[in-house]
Structure 1
Amino acid sequence: MKPFRLFPERFKSLPLFWLSYLIFPLFGISQEPLTKAIFGYALVLLLVIVYRESYWRPRFLNIHLTIELIIVFVFCSFFNPMFIYVGFYPINLLNLIQNKIIHWITVLCIIGIFISSIIIHDVPISSPLFIATLAPIFIIVLTPFAIQANKKYQLLQQKLNSANQQINELIKREERQRIARDLHDTLGHTLSLITLKSEIVEKMIKRNPDLAIHEIKEIKETSRSTLRQVRELVSDMNLIKITEELANVRSILEAAQFELTLLGPINNVKMPKLHENILGMCLREAVTNVIKHSEGTKCIIEIKEDIDKFVLTVKDNGTGIDQKSANGNGLLGMMERIRLIDGTFHIDTHEDKGTTIHISLPKIIRNSVESTA
């Protein structure tokens, strides 16, 4: 059974803020005779119910808006023109309604209610009561225009964010193409040369061992040179930085309503760019799995440096994962990246106790080409 919520969680505390305007009608009702006060309190209760329902059932917003306008009319006509403060509630509903015509109709209704209440209660224009009601009616009339301006700003901001994302994607695509070209230029001809020399060695090893040995030495030198070029290429790549990835992870977890805990001297850990890139991609994948599959509420991330390795630990308090999920494409991709530099990958998972991912990358990468030197 889900716990009771006054308003949907996505609206946070904003609907509660609007309830503060009930102070004005409640104070005014408390000054009325008992019978009239009971009627007033019943109207306030109805207003709160309709106001709450407008957030939970947006399909009936027009009906809710009409009921709230009627309540404002009753308050202003039968109690006091100062009850025009209640007009903030139908105005607030315009945040959830896109139709500009309804915005205009609502504003005109509020103005009509205000004018009719002044006439019904015979309030002189020079009276303090009339002057006191000008401030709220002025704010109420301007609020829909502020709402429309804010929506236009949000729409423009969304378009700007979308454009920035497209630019980032184009930059990444161009970076990938550059890397592909560099790898082709760096490795393509060299590997072809190694293949050709290997075929020569295969043919000459029995007929001319000395020439074969010479060719093998050239292959070894070519391999070493290629390895150096690849490492230079990798060091020049636009790699993922752990600090930037942690900032992204924090934003994603907060949006998913996860509590994040960071452990270890994360900002003081210095590692090679290749290690940082692999750990950053693994961290992103691990946190994505936590949000999608853990069904938990907390995530603990630890990055530390040992004597001979860098260690990343990502832990959640969710429901654990089954064997099928453990062999998913995301985790397999992480394992493949980690194996590239002789790292280790381990998962601890228990039902209702969460999942912990341990990743360890060695500081020194063993290389078969160099070891033969």
Structure 2
Amino acid sequence: MKITLLLLYLGAFYNALWHKNGRLLVASLVGFIVITILSIYIEPFMLIFGFTFADLLGRAKSKWHIGCGILAIAIMFLTVMYLATDSFLQKESQVLVPIMMFQLVLPILIYFVEKSKNLQAELADVNMQLVQQEERQRIARDLHDTIGHTLTMIKIRTELTTKLIDRDPSRVKQELDDILATTRTALKQVRELVSDMNFISLQTELVHCKQLLQSANITTSLHNQCPQIVLSSVEETMLALCVREATTNILKHSQAKKCHIIIQYHTGQYTLIMKDDGIGLQQKGFGNGIHSMKERMHILQGYATINSHTPTGTSVTLTLPIQDGKEPTS
């Protein structure tokens, strides 16, 4: 009999250790039953083994499972104290009550500790994305400073060569050779600067941002009213980075409970709106992230609008002009 109960206990512990769904709850209930039997027939203080499953219950994904487990712990202790000691006033019961209270609280403590760890992991992920975003901004500046300068040189030397065709044909070949060398330099610079820049899917970024917001207990809805519009790689990447920046601002500053993301099309304008019900930006002002969004949309000949005149939330509107041939068909 004891060997059978021991095997049941070990089997329940093994299943509870590797699962966080309903199997964890079932395994914990089996473990509590085994502990109850052993405590009644062998030693009431074997209830201390309940800490094993109380700790694992705190890692359950469902609050309902945690609540059921806590109820099972209370029933286990009350049953043992009643049947094994015959009275709640005896010495054993006075010692077991504090143990019971700690086991009842332990799953809740573990739950909040795990939740805090998950939020820290999510924030670390967001911070990593911001670092990557800053690196992309650096690369964009390098593109402007280096490639822009090189292309300007090519333009000037090409104009000079055009004039030399009639005045000094002997110098034309030398100038063309110089232009070719400069062009090769520009190509090399482009390869070096954009080798680390990857395409970012807008749809993937929206799904990821929705998951981040929901993990922070911000209810998020996403309504794409024009999924048939096909954007260029540059447009998708820029919009995705703006969405990422807006999501970071919501997580860090808004204290919001809800966020609505709407994508729509009207009269040649592709619009993405992110609106939260937080505290607004009256106390925070416009930071570098918002300026970055405005700069990115300006590059696309669009614009970013941030509306935070009231303390009832912030609305970020990203507007992009749609080229001919990209409009949604009716």
CA distance in 2, matches of 1:304, 1:244: 18
Find the counterpart in structure 2 of residue 321 from structure 1.
281
Say whether residues 1:289 and 2:249 are aligned partners: yes
Deviations 1:49-99 (A, max 9, x none): 32356578x9xxxxxxxxxxxxxxxxxxxxxxxxxxxxxxxxx9xxx9xxx
Is the CA contact (8 Å cut-off) linking 1:26 and 1:41 kept in structure 2? no
- Are residues 10 and 295 of structure 1, via their aligned partners in 2, closer, same or farther at CA, if it must alter by over 3 Å? farther
Aligned-residue offset at 1:199: 7.3
Say whether residues 1:279 and 2:239 are aligned partners: yes
Amino acid corresponding to residue 318 of structure 1 in structure 2: G
Find the counterpart in structure 2 of residue 194 from structure 1.
155
Find the counterpart in structure 2 of residue 46 from structure 1.
98
Amino acid corresponding to residue 23 of structure 1 in structure 2: I
Say whether residues 1:354 and 2:306 are aligned partners: no
Find the counterpart in structure 2 of residue 334 from structure 1.
293
Is the CA contact (8 Å cut-off) linking 2:58 and 2:106 kept in structure 1? no
Find the counterpart in structure 1 of residue 271 from structure 2.
311
- After TM superposition, list the pairs within 5 Å mapping 1:63-142 onto structure 2: none
Is the CA contact (8 Å cut-off) linking 1:338 and 1:361 kept in structure 2? yes
Say whether residues 1:37 and 2:88 are aligned partners: yes
CA distance in 2, matches of 1:41, 1:266: 66
Deviations 1:268-289 (A, max 9, x none): 4422222211110110000110
Say whether residues 1:256 and 2:221 are aligned partners: no
Find the counterpart in structure 2 of residue 245 from structure 1.
205
Report which of the two structures shows the higher radius of gyration computed on alpha carbons. 1
Secondary structure, counterpart of 1:347 in structure 2: strand
Aligned-residue offset at 1:15: 5.2
CA distance in 2, matches of 1:45, 1:320: 48
Deviations 1:244-283 (A, max 9, x none): 1012202211222211111233644422222211110110
For normalisation by structure 1, the TM-score amounts to 0.47
Is the CA contact (8 Å cut-off) linking 1:312 and 1:358 kept in structure 2? yes
Identity of counterpart residues, as a percentage? Answer: 22
Aligned-residue offset at 1:324: 5.2
Amino acid corresponding to residue 355 of structure 1 in structure 2: T
CA distance in 2, matches of 1:351, 1:173: 30
Is the CA contact (8 Å cut-off) linking 1:266 and 1:302 kept in structure 2? no
Is the CA contact (8 Å cut-off) linking 2:225 and 2:264 kept in structure 1? yes
CA distance in 2, matches of 1:18, 1:342: 57
- Are residues 175 and 311 of structure 1, via their aligned partners in 2, closer, same or farther at CA, if it must alter by over 3 Å? closer
- Are residues 280 and 266 of structure 1, via their aligned partners in 2, closer, same or farther at CA, if it must alter by over 3 Å? farther
Secondary structure, counterpart of 1:354 in structure 2: coil
Is the CA contact (8 Å cut-off) linking 1:253 and 1:259 kept in structure 2? yes
Find the counterpart in structure 1 of residue 176 from structure 2.
none
Amino acid corresponding to residue 305 of structure 2 in structure 1: H
Find the counterpart in structure 2 of residue 27 from structure 1.
79
- How many residue pairs end up in the alignment? 225
Secondary structure, counterpart of 1:286 in structure 2: helix
Alpha carbon RMSD of aligned pairs, Å? 5.0
For normalisation by structure 2, the TM-score amounts to 0.52
Unpaired stretches in structure 1, ≥5 consecutive residues: 1-6, 59-91, 97-157, 209-225, 366-373
Aligned-residue offset at 1:193: 2.1
Which shifted more, 247-256 or 186-195?
186-195
Which shifted more, 19-28 or 284-293?
19-28
Secondary structure, counterpart of 2:316 in structure 1: strand
Is the CA contact (8 Å cut-off) linking 1:264 and 1:302 kept in structure 2? yes
Is the CA contact (8 Å cut-off) linking 2:133 and 2:241 kept in structure 1? no
CA distance in 1, matches of 2:293, 2:94: 61
CA distance in 2, matches of 1:287, 1:172: 13
CA distance in 2, matches of 1:281, 1:172: 7
Amino acid corresponding to residue 280 of structure 2 in structure 1: G
Higher relative contact order (CA 8 A, sep 6+): 2
